[in-house]
Amino acid sequence: MNFTGSMERLLMFLFMAVMICHVQACLWVFFCSFNTDEKDETFLSKDYLKLTKGEQYLTSMYFIITTFSTVGYGDISASNPIEQVCCIVAMILGVAAFAYGTSTFTSLL
């Protein structure tokens, strides 16, 4: 298959966006696993820890995609310091990825 330079940039951007979202979702699941205390609040209901790892990943991917796409969220938010640090990193990466994606698509058009 012969791709043009702009098509390669687009595919590379999409691949990197998916990989960054995947890593952030995995980190979110990982950091939420630290919260085993019933008294502490987690970013979801206490039922989150009872979900299977696949369901936790899907919920976390939803959170990361809404953060990265700058759509925002109201149903999921950080509620302890570890989650707040993860949210800060996700928001910074999301803004950078959104700006890069917008500029990439603009230059392609």
Residue ranges per structural domain of the chain: 5-34+41-108
Q: What is the pLDDT of residue 71?
A: 66
Q: Among 1.10.10.10, 3.50.90.10, 3.30.70.3270, 1.10.287.70, name the CATH number for the domain at 5-34+41-108.
A: 1.10.287.70
Q: For residues 43 and 11, give the distance between their C-alpha atoms in angstroms, rounded to a whole number.
A: 33
Q: Give how far Cα 33 sits from Cα of 7, 52, 60, 88, Å.
A: 39, 12, 12, 19
pLDDT tens series, the chain, 109 aa: 666 777 787 788 888 888 988 988 888 788 776 665 655 565 655 667 777 888 888 888 888 888 777 666 666 667 777 777 877 887 888 788 778 778 877 877 6
Predicted TM-score (pTM) of this structure: 0.70
Q: For residues 109 and 104, give the distance between their C-alpha atoms in angstroms, rounded to a whole number.
A: 9
Closest listed residue to residue 68, CA positions, set 11, 15, 9, 17: 17
